[in-house]
Amino acid sequence: MSAFVEELRTGLGIRELWLTVNRHDAGSIAFYRRLGFAVTGEPVRDIGKGFVMDDFRMAKQLDTP
């Protein structure tokens, strides 16, 4: 993590990074796993007009500042 980002997240008390990724995007899931992320949920959300977002929530715990 860059020094700037580390300083920013420490000052804000951020202890977790999270994102959502398409559950069918194996390449992205593998990439995030290599970065230390793990699947922590499977949110399903109606995004309108008959479409549903059916993703994985992935999170990475950060060292406490």
Identify the burial level of 9 via C-beta atoms within 10 angstroms of its C-beta, where 0-12 means exposed, 13-18 middle and 19 or more buried.
middle
Closest by Cα among 34, 32, 1, 8 to 19: 32
User: pLDDT by residue (tens digit) across 20-62?
Assistant: 999 999 999 999 999 889 999 998 889 999 988 889 999 998 8
Identify the burial level of 2 via C-beta atoms within 10 angstroms of its C-beta, where 0-12 means exposed, 13-18 middle and 19 or more buried.
exposed
pLDDT band at residue 4 using 50, 70 and 90 as cut-offs: confident
State the pLDDT at residue 37: 94
State the pLDDT at residue 25: 96
pTM: 0.76
Q: How far apart (Å, rounded) are the C-alpha atoms in residues 32 and 39?
A: 10
State the pLDDT at residue 6: 73
